[in-house]
Amino acid sequence: GEALGGRGLLALAVATGAAAWATWAVLLMPGFRRVPLRLQVPYQPSSPRQVANALALLRGRAGKTVDLGSGDGRLVLEAYKQGLRPALGYELNPWLLCLANYRAWRAGCHGKVSFLKKDLWKVNLSDCHNVIVFLAPSVKPPLATKLLEELPDDARVVAGRFPFPSWTPSSTLGQGLEQVWAYDMKEVRQEAQGSARG
C-alpha cells in the first residue's frame, strides 16, 4: 500500500509539473519570445475591482483608448462599454489575443474593439488620449520615457498594480492590490521640466 501511495504521489507530482510546463509553453511563452527578459510581464488577469477603478479614473474622457499588454481584453471591453472609443489593446501573446477576440464576440463587441499583435515598444502612441498600463514595475521606467516622448499633453495614463515611480499621480483610487493611479501628461511634463531646471 505504501509503495503504491508513493508511486501515486510521484505520478501526481510529474503530472502537475507537466501541466505547469505545458501552460507556460502554450499560453504564456509565445508572447515573451522576442521581449528582453527585464521587460517580460507574465499574464495576470485584472480583478473586477481593478477594472472598475481604472475605468472610474477615465470617466468622462474622450479619445482613443489603448491598453498596453491587454491580455484577455477585459479592460478594453469595459472601456468600450463605457463610451471610450476607439478602444484597442496591444498584446504579443497569440493565445491571449484569441481569448480577447472571443470575449469581444461573446460581449457583442466583435469588430467594435481591436486587439493587435504588436510590440508596445514599437507602436506610436501620439494619437492616444487614454492609456491603461497594468504592467510589472521593471517596465515602468523605460515606458515612462516612451510615454513622455509620444503622448499629447491632454493624455491621461492609468496604471494598475504598480505606480510609475518617478511620477506624481493626479489622482488615485482603491487600496492594496486594487489601487490604481492616474497621471495627466501635462502635469507630468511640468514636473519633469521643473526637476530638470532644479
Q: What is the CATH number of the domain that holds 101?
A: 3.40.50.150
Element (H, E) at 173: strand 171-173
The reported pLDDT for the residue numbered 15 is 72
- What value does the mean pLDDT of the chain take? 86
Nearest to 130 by CA among 172, 93, 170, 86: 86
Residues 20 and 102 in one domain: no
Question: Which residue did the predictor score with more confidence, 25 or 33?
Answer: 25
Of the pLDDT bands very low, low, confident and very high (cuts 50, 70, 90), residue 26 is low
What's the confidence (pLDDT) of residue 5?
A: 65
Q: Is the pLDDT of residue 21 over 80?
A: no
Q: Say what percent of the chain tops pLDDT 90.
A: 71
Q: Which residues pair with 68 in a beta bridge?
A: 90, 133
Stated pTM of the model: 0.78
d(CA 88, CA 68): 9
Give the C-alpha distances (Å, rounded to integers) separating 118 from 88, 92, 94, 131, 154: 11, 6, 10, 15, 24
My answer on whether 49 and 23 are in the same domain is no
Lowest mean pLDDT across 4-13, 25-34, 185-194: 25-34
pLDDT at 160: 94
Closest listed residue to residue 167, CA positions, set 146, 151, 191: 191
Q: How confident is the model at residue 24 (pLDDT cuts 50, 70, 90)?
A: low
The string over 109-130, giving b where at least 16 C-beta atoms fall within 10 Å of a residue's C-beta and e elsewhere, is: beeebbbeeeebeebebeebbb
Q: Does residue 53 sit in the same domain as residue 114?
A: yes
pLDDT at 36: 46
Out of 16-30, 62-76, 115-129, pick the least confident.
16-30
Considering the domain architecture, whether residues 11 and 68 belong to the same structural domain is answered as no
Q: What are the φ/ψ torsions at residue 118 (nearest 5 degrees)?
A: -140, 145
Residues 15 and 106 in one domain: no
Give the pLDDT of residue 10: 66
Q: Which three cell numbers stand for residue 8?
A: 501515486
1 in a domain, yes or no?
no
- 29-60 tens-digit pLDDT: 544 444 444 444 567 788 999 999 999 999 99
